[in-house]
């Protein structure tokens, strides 16, 4: 049997992927809190447990044949070189612009300052509206930036809006809806076509049963 490697996004997506993976026998057979590479319960299929933002890179270079990753990460990375055959409909949230509820008035001659983990999506979003903004790249806790005057607004993931509210921020614009996707290396799709097609089919059916349940 041809070996397959599936890269999983550590954290929230992994948690939400596990029930689906268990249904098709692809759940990890090893300690995923310590190991970066673990066998799955299906012989020949191994799993990589990596940072969400690294998943597109592993799959693009063929270090993994397949990956599970958020649409936000895919959009930021740019998905040329990857097939994206399946919306897994898990880890759902949205990418939004948020501002302080009682924002101090901004000097209109100064460019809007936007703090985000997603500089590429942010640049594109404002450029599409004909607006040039100053982007401040952060790696986490974006909500803090407007409170301390580092930025006027943020672009970040929102699920319930609870974190925004707790920090006195309001959602001013939705950029796009986000869910997790299955991605496939283009060369693998050719060289391991039968195995990958079978796996896609299983995941599709596992998703449907989960929804029906």
Binding site for ligand ATP (CB under 6 A): 9, 11-13, 51-53, 70, 72-73, 91-93, 157, 159, 178
Q: Minimum Å distance from CB 93 to ligand ATP?
A: 4
What whole-number distance in Å separates Cα of residue 101 and Cα of residue 141? 18
**DSSP letters spanning 75-109:** HHH--TTEEEEEE---S-EEEEEEEETTPPPP-TT
Q: Minimum Å distance from CB 178 to ligand ATP?
A: 5
CA distances from 163 to 1, 12, 119, 159 (A): 47, 16, 21, 9
Q: Minimum Å distance from CB 196 to ligand ATP?
A: 23
Closest-approach residue to ligand ATP (CB) = 70
Q: Minimum Å distance from CB 176 to ligand ATP?
A: 11
| Pick 42 or 91: Cβ nearer ligand ATP | 91
Virtual CA dihedral for 202, 206, 208, 213, nearest 10 degrees? 160
| Pick 163 or 202: Cβ nearer ligand ATP | 163
| Pick 42 or 97: Cβ nearer ligand ATP | 97
> With DSSP H G I counted as helix, E B as strand and the rest as coil, what are the percentages for the chain, rounded to 5?
35, 30, 35
DSSP code for 53: G
Virtual CA dihedral for 117, 163, 158, 108, nearest 10 degrees? -60
Q: Minimum Å distance from CB 13 to ligand ATP?
A: 5
| Pick 15 or 134: Cβ nearer ligand ATP | 15
| Pick 55 or 153: Cβ nearer ligand ATP | 55
Place of tokens 């596990």: 18
| Pick 77 or 192: Cβ nearer ligand ATP | 77
Place of tokens 């040039």: 132
Q: Minimum Å distance from CB 106 to ligand ATP?
A: 28
């Amino acid at each position: 049997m041809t070996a397959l490697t599936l890269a999983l996004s550590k954290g929230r997506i992994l948690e939400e992927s596990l029930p689906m993976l268990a249904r098709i026998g692809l759940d990890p057979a090893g300690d995923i809190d310590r190991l970066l590479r673990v066998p799955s319960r299906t012989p020949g299929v191994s799993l990589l447990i990596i940072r969400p933002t690294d998943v597109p890179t592993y799959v693009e270079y063929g270090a993994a044949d397949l990956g599970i990753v958020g649409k936000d990460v895919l959009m930021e990375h740019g998905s040329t070189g990857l097939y994206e055959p399946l919306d897994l409909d898990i880890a759902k949230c949205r990418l939004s612009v948020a501002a302080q509820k009682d924002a101090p008035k901004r000097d209109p001659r100064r460019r809007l300052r936007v703090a985000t983990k997603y500089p590429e999506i942010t640049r594109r979003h404002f450029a599409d509206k004909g607006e040039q903004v100053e982007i401040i790249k952060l790696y986490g806790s974006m909500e803090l930036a407007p409170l301390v005057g580092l930025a006027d607004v943020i672009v970040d993931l929102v699920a319930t809006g609870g974190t925004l509210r707790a920090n006195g921020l309001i959602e001013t614009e939705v950029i796009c809806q986000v869910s997790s996707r299955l991605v496939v290396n283009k060369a693998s799709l050719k060289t391991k076509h039968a195995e990958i097609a079978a796996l896609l089919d299983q995941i599709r059916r596992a998703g449907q049963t989960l929804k029906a349940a």
